[in-house]
Amino acid sequence: MSREYPTRPIIGVGTVVWHGERVLLVRRGRPPRQGQWSLPGGAQQIGESLADAARREVFEETGLTIELGDVIATVDSIERDPDGRVRYHYTLIDFTAEARSAELTPGDDAADARWFELDELPALGLWSETLRISELARAHRCR
């Protein structure tokens, strides 16, 4: 199934990865949201658990091995074209995780990967859901 103009929603994962008090973002190398900073993540593969998909996507995009935590949010990402047709439709399941290392190696569909302080995120022009989920992840860590 094509990711553009799909016949059904695509299941995707995202992960708020922490190293100390910094959160990991990747700059998307492909649509949707190409060129924008976002949480590492991508589509779940057939036969793959959500947890395995989250670990794989973080590793492919950043070279990091993570200790995966809990699911913290689910999000509908639906983008329509000018004619109102659904161009992209993802159901996203977001996790929180801790990185074992801070050394990043951007790869796969990530054009860049960097660590940010949470107070830096609003200035990056992120998707509102990325900001909301990052704040949820911080609250979840403080429990």
Structure pTM? 0.91
41 three-class SS: strand
pLDDT digits (tens, 9 = 90+) for 20-77: 999 999 998 777 777 889 999 999 999 999 999 999 999 999 999 999 999 999 999 9
Residue 26: partners with Cβ closer than 8 Å, 6 or more residues away? 37, 38, 39, 40, 61, 62, 106, 110, 111, 112, 113
Yes or no: is domain 10-136 CATH 3.90.79.10? yes
Q: What is d(CA 129, CA 63) in angstroms, rounded to the nearest whole number?
A: 24
Mean pLDDT, the chain, whole residue set: 93
pLDDT digits (tens, 9 = 90+) for 91-100: 999 999 999 9
Note the pLDDT of residue 34: 79
Instruction: Provide the b/e sequence for 52-78 (b: ≥16 CB within 10 Å).
Output: ebbbbbbbbbbbbebebbeebbebebe
pLDDT digits (tens, 9 = 90+) for 29-43: 777 777 889 999 999
